[in-house]
Amino acid sequence: MKTVEAAVIGTGWCGGIRSETLSRSALVDKLHICEIRPDRLKEVAELTKPATATLDYQDIIKNPNISVVYISTTPEGNHYPIAKDCLKAGKHVLLEKPIALELWEADELIELSKRNGVKFTIGYSQRFNTKFAYAKKKITDGTLGNVVSVMVSRHLSRSLGKKIAGRVRLSPVVMESTHDLDFVFWLLEPAKPVRVYSQGSYGYMKPVNGSYDVMFSVVTFDNGLVANICGGWNLPPSYPNYCATWVEILGTEGSLVLDDTHRDNWLNTMQGGQQFPMSTMPGEQVDHVYAGQMGPETLHFLEACIRDRPPMVTPESARMVMETYTAADLSADLGEPVDLPLSNRALSQVADLKKKNRAGAAP
């Protein structure tokens, strides 16, 4: 059986999940981890028993034996430079979303992966949610007929929203609806988005980083389909990292409603009160099994590299998602629809919006 040496750069929440998953896999000959916080590095090292544990990701880059790298760093501005170094070094890369903060950065990473003949994917783990995979199957096999519309409503607890919004000035459509844009585009292939109209509402998050609490984005496709995607992060701070999602798909021959609000696992104790275990977007390890999406996604990319197969999420599809949520941010600012692909005028307006946001975030 062929095995590889794999590395995880950034071992926070998601990176910790990926490290533990890889440490349990027989496909990994040696695991290497990197984390800039010594205490967290020690914690994950004790859990996963890696071959090496380092504070400097250049140690991963310089190790010729490491062929597969998972980049799970924050803040999100780190994604592009670290991914660029890994791809230039000829390593296969799974990069957490977003693919980059600028479209030209995404384009460069895609070009680098092609030039160096390495696999490059983005961590859109919701494609590995069994409910969403079932939706894909029912669309592909014709059960629903021709899809007419898709509606997705996703909400996070404000404790998680504040954590995300506190480290970077990115909107809920960029940080949360990005997952839903990805899996909706996947469901509706080969349809392509041609227009976005987005609106946002302020509330709890505005004093945190000027962000909307919730954004609604209507995406129109080239075949006339319409998707309405809602993303927010202001649910009361109940169970840690709680995420609730509701999906409605209407077709000419049927409909499909997916309840992913995690109300099926409800723990109530004298000490902890009401809890919703296994309710986070990535999922979690539960003794000998993984409950959720990120574990299977981590192994899928590992197997794609070993067997020389394409990963499920192409970087080009992630780039299309990025352009769409960029258009959504611009639409919410302008109060009008924005066409896709983005025109030069729209790209100039995006640059002005980012400049305005940076000025608003300055102390």
Fold adopted by 127-281+319-334: Dihydrodipicolinate Reductase; domain 2 (3.30.360)
286-333 per-position pLDDT tens digit: 999 999 999 999 999 999 999 999 999 999 999 999 999 999 999 999
My answer on whether omega of the bond before 341 falls inside 30° of 0, hence cis, is yes
pLDDT given at position 160: 84
What is the predicted pLDDT for the residue at 361? 57
Q: Where in the chain is the domain with CATH 3.30.360.10?
A: 127-281+319-334
Cα–Cα dist 32/80, whole Å: 21
Residues of the chain with CATH 3.40.50.720: 4-122+302-312
List per-residue pLDDT tens for the chain, 363 residues long: 799 999 999 999 999 999 999 999 999 999 999 999 999 999 999 999 999 999 999 999 999 999 999 999 999 999 999 999 999 999 999 999 999 999 999 999 999 999 999 999 999 999 999 999 999 999 999 999 999 999 999 999 888 888 887 777 789 999 999 999 999 999 999 999 999 999 999 998 888 888 899 999 999 999 999 999 999 998 988 788 899 999 999 999 999 999 999 989 999 999 988 889 999 999 999 999 999 999 999 999 999 999 999 999 999 999 999 999 999 999 999 999 999 999 999 999 999 999 988 776 543
**What distance in Å separates the CA atoms of residue 316 and residue 113, rounded to the nearest whole number?**
11
pLDDT at 269: 93
Eight-class DSSP state of 169: -
CA distance 106 to 36: 25
Number of residues that this document lists for the chain: 363
List Cβ neighbours of 362 (8 Å cut-off, separation of 6 or more): none
Find residue 267's DSSP bridge partners. 275
Q: Which of 37, 38, 82 is nearest to 60 (CA)?
A: 82
pLDDT of residue 238: 75
Distance CA 88, CA 273 (A): 50
Please say whether the beta carbons of 126 and 317 come within 8 A.
no
- Terminal CA-to-CA distance of the chain, rounded, Å? 55
pLDDT single digits (tens) 74-84: 999 999 999 99
For domain 4-122+302-312, the CATH architecture is: 3-Layer(aba) Sandwich (3.40)
